[in-house]
Structure 1
Amino acid sequence: MVAVDGVRLAWTRSGPRGPGRPSVVLAHGLTDSADTWQRVSERLEQSHDVVRYDARGHGSSDRSEDYSAEAHTRDLVGVVRALGLDRPVLVGHSMGGIHATLAAREIAVRAIVLEDPAWPQVPQDGTKDVADSRRRVVEVASLPEGERREVGRRRHPSWHPVVVATWSRAQTLLDPDVVGWFGSWRTRNAWREHVSGLDVPGLLLTGDAEPDAVAVLPGMAEEARRLWPRLRVEQVDGAAHDVRRDGFDAFVRALTQFLAGLDTLRP
């Protein structure tokens, strides 16, 4: 556990450490947990120092009264500092992509990888029916294990069984109030501010599903690339919002190639 602002955060670390072994920090999305990175972590830990952690209100981490993007970002910064990580690569999915980008403005990072980050599509977007979202989270969590896994398989037939299992377990460990996160950035299309002026290598991984199944549309990706000149965009065929789970092999291939190429880039 690492304590940040009085909230204990559970983390796991694997892979080789030391000079020449870059650190990679994996930040999961809303309602997930560190375990949902398991298959990706197993690939990366062959050559990298891999840290994955449960965001507040998720997994084995403490619950909190504050689930704002700002609090989550402080948590990510706190994990990096507590573990003494030197210029890590921050990898974030959805909600975690927001926190990774914001954290990179407070700590030195080697690069940022964003898996379909939760970017609102229009300035007024970002408002959610929090009560309805909470109700749906509670409904899934209350299902028996077998039924909950069946929900996962039905929604995502292409997911690996291990992925379905880790997703299912994550739903039972949630504080339903984590959905209050949506309210911390409503009415502001702040992602443009987040990426503008970044001067570290970046990789944006998106899917090619229908517009209502992904957060980042092609036009948004192009705009992000203009605002962040060192950003590279990769689209994974057949993937929706859960890029790594929908198109695991393509996701890992793009990620590992990007990480391998960091050695040839300027600091």
Structure 2
Amino acid sequence: MWYNEDQDEHIISIGARTSIRVTKKLYEKQSNFQKIEIYQTDAFGKMMVLDNCIMLTDANEFAYHEMIAHVPLFAHPNPERVLIIGGGDGGTAREVLRHPQVKECVMVEIDEEVVNVSREYFPAIAAELDNPRLDLRIEDGMAYIRNNENAFDVILIDSTDPVGIAENLITVKFYEETHRSLKKGGIMVAQAESPFYFADIQRKLFQNIKGAFPAVSMYLSQIPFYPSGTWSFAFATQEAGFDRTNYRVADLKAMEHQLQYFNEALFTGCFAIPTFAKKMIE
């Protein structure tokens, strides 16, 4: 049988669908916040679906998790404290904690059931959830960030699509709170949808970030089974003069052999975006 991600009106409106052949459903539960499903796929390992949207598969989750984490962490000269908003599957925390400079990573996930399911069905992705450098908190990210001013070097917004429980995470108010939570020279990165399929959401998201941050740009990753296969991230800095090209080259080269997607060439190359996307976020 086939799992078809075609519930989202943005995808339906352009006549597109993402289909993956699955062998069986392993888990389904309606948590207090969203419907959670786990499938066994024919060729891509296990797959997590939240509210009918594919979140990850075993086979290619690295294309998302490595790119949301390593671009900002290598751009920062000394990322000692990192905050993840969302990220309940644990993949982003796993990548953050590869960096020995990180003394503490705080992960704030609103839905404990996503964490529990990830521990059971995706142990390789959730492998660092018990790391002593990780402070895992089950609470609302917006409330947490409001009470932590000047606290973090890097903040990663690893949220679901900006509807329902994640809708507040693309407001100007939220990004202003995020800006206040960063230390001087800090970096925020947020998953920012597909420039091909979600232009209206993306335009609003970047406009709101620019309302709170002095310097904002986009970078891309190729992520199978996300709508269109091309996914974007917003890269925002607390200071206007931040030079992202001055990254920690030696540290990056030392880590490359551990990674499956990210490398030194991608660090600069991922910021090259198509002309239509440039115009959309100007």
Pick 1 or 2: higher relative contact order, CA cutoff 8 A, min separation 6.
Answer: 1
Task: Identify the structure with the greater strand proportion.
Answer: 2
**Which has the larger share of helix?**
1
- TM-score where L is the length of structure 1: 0.32
Structure 2 length-normalised TM = 0.31
